[in-house]
Amino acid sequence: MTGPLDYVETQRVVLFSECDPLRLRGGGRLDHVEVAYETYGELSPERDNVIFVCHALTGHAHAAGLHLGAKKRGWWDNIIGPGKPLDTDRFFVVAPNILGGCSGTTGPLSTNPATGEPYYLDFPLLHMSDLVAVHRRLMGHLGVERLYAGVGGSLGGMQILQWVIDAPDEVERAVLVAASSRLSTENIAFSSVARTAIMSDPEFHDGRYVEHGTVPRLGQKVARMMAHITYVSDQSLDTKFGHRRDTVGDGMKLEPDFAVEHYLQHQGDVFLDRFDALSYLYLTRLLDYFDPFADSWTAERLASTRTQFQVTSFDSDWRFDTRQSLRMVEQLEACGVKVDFAELPSPFGHDSFLLTPPGYHDRIAAFLKG
């Protein structure tokens, strides 16, 4: 059978409590951690068919299928389902919303048990290991000790890499797409501008904008518009919009006029309805500090792993370009890890990992078939 999944539901579970808190790598703790997640397919009696999907920066648990009453399918619906690379006739696929997010998992707008109000900027800064600790606890809740595979694109791939480092025996196959083991300086610069736009918005109110019944709309919109440009390629923008103007007449004006401008305005507006500014601040900062091969213990841990890695980059991705993937491959191989690497042609830029460029899905499917 091949085709889309039917209706799915998001589940929620409390994984850490005051009696059993999440102790963060930075030294803090969270006394209440709730996680939103979805599952697709059936868990085998041996519990050995689990694929764990980690989402990118602004993703969520709804990776595939359709929610009752909704029109939009999950964000990775083209790769998860019967007969697809993450074949739900064979695999039990788990997809959570990450720690620090704003789609059902504990984040900056969640209630702080100590105060009874949202954390706001009192929410602790997170390390990639903290996200992985929550993922691992979710697997324990589901009664799973080992993953058949961990799969992720962009920030999702970085979570999988950290998982193998933190628990070298828990992941049989690691699929990392359009990812990096350390952000480029340019990436950090882009994120710095985005955070500045949000935090400089008069409606930010030191992060307590909810108390004022508002959100930093302008700053968050500008941040998303800029980021979206980096997720696509010059070729894809030119093919889709060219130099076309959406208004009638030959006059010039300062307001948005070209088709690409209206497109970016739309992307910024849509983002305001689905994502929180504080989560954006915290998760982009998490990415900036990610540098696992700078840890003294990483090489020793990876030397003991039997995890097989597949690393894929795209030739038009300039946000997480192939040089970053190759650096990660070299670091893994220096630790004795087996890596299958390929750069694939695609016109879509960084967003290629969400789409279906030629050879991409076949590559993942072959790797998962072993």
pLDDT in tens, 94-140: 999 999 999 999 999 999 999 999 999 999 999 999 999 999 999 99
Q: What's the distance, CA 64 to chain centroid?
A: 14
Known catalytic membership, residue 228: no
In this prediction, residue 246 carries a pLDDT of 78
Alpha-carbon distances of 101 from 34, 252, 306, rounded to whole Å: 11, 41, 31
Known catalytic membership, residue 205: no
Q: Which of the residues 87, 317, 321, 346 is marked catalytic? A: 317
Q: Which of the residues 110, 154, 181, 325 is marked catalytic? A: 154
Annotated binding site: 224, 351
Q: List, in order of start, the domains of the chain with CATH numbers.
A: 11-182+293-369 (3.40.50.1820), 187-285 (1.10.1740.110)
- Identify the residue whose tokens are 């990876």: 302
Nearest residue to 146 (alpha-carbon basis) of 175, 169, 164, 176: 169
Residue 265 backbone phi and psi in degrees, to 5:
-60, -45
- The answer to whether 16 and 33 are in contact (CB under 8 A) is yes
Work out the pLDDT band at 197, boundaries 50, 70, 90: very high
Alpha-carbon distances of 102 from 37, 279, 336, rounded to whole Å: 13, 6, 38
pLDDT tens digits along 71-87: 999 999 999 999 999 99
Nearest residue to 137 (alpha-carbon basis) of 9, 13, 307, 40: 13
Annotated binding site for substrate: 224, 351
Query: Taking the CB of residue 251, how many other CB atoms lie within 10 A of it?
Result: 7
For residue 52 the two structure tokens come to 């764990």
Known catalytic membership, residue 212: no
Which pTM was predicted?
Answer: 0.97
Nearest residue to 37 (alpha-carbon basis) of 17, 77, 57, 8: 8
Work out the pLDDT band at 325, boundaries 50, 70, 90: very high
The yes-or-no verdict on residue 39 having pLDDT over 80 is yes
Q: Quick one: 342 exposed, middle or buried, by C-beta within 10 A (0-12, 13-18, 19+)?
A: middle
Q: Which of the residues 135, 279, 350, 352 is marked catalytic? A: 350
pLDDT tens digits along 226-276: 999 999 999 999 999 999 997 766 788 999 999 999 999 999 999 999 999
The yes-or-no verdict on residue 350 having pLDDT over 70 is yes
